[in-house]
Amino acid sequence: MNLPVPTPESLLPMALPAALDGREGTNRARGAHRQIAADTDLDAVRLWLAEYVHSPHTLRSYRKEAVRLLIWATRALGKPLSSLTREDFLLYERFLAAPSVDWADPALPRRGGARRLFDGPLSERSRRQALGILCGLLNYLVAAGYLAGNPLALRRSRSMTTTRKRRIERYLDHALWQVVLDSVEAWPQSTARERQHYERSRWLIRLLYHTALRASEAAHAKAADFAQRRGRWWLHVVGKGGAEGEVPASDALMIEFARYRTFCGLPPTPTPDETSPAVMSIAGDTARHLTPTAIYLITKEVFLRTADALAAVDPVGAATLRRTSTHWLRHSAASHQADAGTDIRFIQKNLRHASIETTGLYLHVEDDRRHAQTTDTHISKKSPAQPDEVPA
């Protein structure tokens, strides 16, 4: 499906005071050969974001960090982005670790000038990610001849001490995943609207789990992306950065797809030229794709409703489900495939990882075996041998 190209303004729909728009920024590259025509910080940032219009997930993440910095700089420091120094970014890093209440007030709206930009303090990992994104933005503006230098380039690398990769922990174990599936079956279906919501939610969580799709990939998936080859079904996926790949679609998943399509009034099996989305809008509009945000919210509701039902008997499991998001299903899929003994090279292809080292973070079986053999080893109950008696 050809998506409309967003305008620069729609990529970053906000305004800044004229005195803080960056035209007179102290870090502006004066007299340099410019690669972009932008005269203000907002226009320059919009051009940077335009580089990622074909990667919706990346675009949302990068825009969030740019908005946070722009608003913080102008509101907290009274400075434009193009005047920020290394000292300012040290303050910003401390701010990310402990934003004041007025920046994370749950009563504030998510949109508009007085929006809520934080849910609370960012973890060390999230702070590193935020500053890494902003460093990329500043590098772009320096290369474009817009900024004279990148203050974040002076930031000390912590790669030797903080980048140790740990096993993926944000996934559901087999038992908790089954609880989620069972919980959805208890949803009310007395009205047409409830039935539609039940069928779509039921199908969506299975699609995400069986294919390990990201939310943006599921949002843009079409029925025609499912194709049969040599008697087996495959799902064609366009992922991060436009990278293409194919994911095996099991017979169990295709049975569920046929059920969902039949409910939506479509033939059980998709055709090669079909343009309908893999996940329909609630109204069943075959020309309308859901947004990645909608995919996230539908899935999040499944986990929250399951958590509410589970809280009384398993508060730990309920707490886990309240933190669970769409990406947890991607992690769950990979972890469960690894548990089942699937070749790590196949899991790498299924997740479309560039490095097999990344896929290796999903291998938990060896850890489980080591833990079991360590903690289940019992010292023999036989009394230790007595020392030989010394003759009198």
Give the domain range for residue 211: 174-364
Residue at 167 is within a domain: no
Residue at 379 is within a domain: no
Say how many domains are in the chain. 2
Q: How many CA atoms lie within 13 A of 143 on its CB side?
A: 8
Residue at 219 is within a domain: yes
Q: Are residues 187 and 291 in the same domain?
A: yes
What is the per-residue pLDDT for 386?
45
Interhelix angle 326-339/174-184, nearest 10 degrees:
130
What is the per-residue pLDDT for 206?
97
Q: How many CA atoms lie within 13 A of 28 on its CB side?
A: 18
- Say which CATH number the domain at 262 has: 1.10.443.10
Residue at 3 is within a domain: no
Q: Are residues 157 and 280 in the same domain?
A: no
Q: pLDDT, tens digit, for every residue of 104-116?
A: 766 655 655 556 6
Q: Are residues 118 and 260 in the same domain?
A: no
CA angle 51/56/57 to nearest 5° reads 110
What is the per-residue pLDDT for 385?
44
Q: Rounded to an integer, what distance in angstroms lies between the CA atom of residue 134 and that of residue 144?
A: 15
Q: Confirm if 258 and 269 have CB atoms less than 8 A apart.
A: yes
What is the per-residue pLDDT for 388?
43
Instruction: For 121-189, list the strands marked E by DSSP.
Output: none
> Which parts of the chain register pLDDT below 70?
1-9, 32, 105-116, 156-169, 241, 353-392
Q: Confirm if 309 and 186 have CB atoms less than 8 A apart.
A: yes
Residue at 374 is within a domain: no
**The domain boundary residue, chosen from 162, 195, 221:** 162
Residue at 253 is within a domain: yes
What is the per-residue pLDDT for 25?
94
Q: Are residues 111 and 243 in the same domain?
A: no
